[in-house]
Amino acid sequence: MQRRLLTLACLPLMAFASAQDRPYREGDVDAFLAAAKRTKRPAVVLFNFDDKSG
């Protein structure tokens, strides 16, 4: 029971870690481009791609 609860508690963290590990961002493309410009990074935008289609 305790182990199950611990797993449930960790799920959001696991999801967060997984999102952090992805080599890309998803959504809010204008905020993404503003951040890339601020940090002087060249940026690639893939339009009509999301986690499912990609």
Partner 1 sequence: MKDAGAVLLPSQQLIDLSERYAICLSGKTAPAGYDIRYRQFYWLLLFDPDGELRHACALGEALSAGVERGLGVADAFVEVVDAAAKKPSTLQQAQRNYVSSAGSADAFTALREKLMDLQRVGQLQTADMLAKTAAATEDPVRSVARGLILEADACSHQVIAHASFARLRDGIQRFLSRHPDHDEADGLVDLLVEVGMKYSFDVAGRCREFAAPWRATSASPAQQRLAARLVARGDATAAASRERLESMKPDDYDRLRCLAVCGEASATLDALAATKSFGVFRPIHAEWRAAAEQRLRRKR
- Alpha-carbon span 12 to 14, nearest angstrom: 5
Q: Does 18 bind partner 1 (CB under 8 A)?
A: no
Q: Look at residues 46, 40, 8 and name the one whose alpha carbon lies nearest to residue 25.
A: 46
Q: How far is the CB of 35 from partner 1 (least distance, A)?
A: 7
Q: Does 37 bind partner 1 (CB under 8 A)?
A: yes
DSSP 40: T
Q: How far is the CB of 39 from partner 1 (least distance, A)?
A: 8
Contact set with partner 1 (CB under 8 A):
23-30, 32-37, 39-51, 53-54
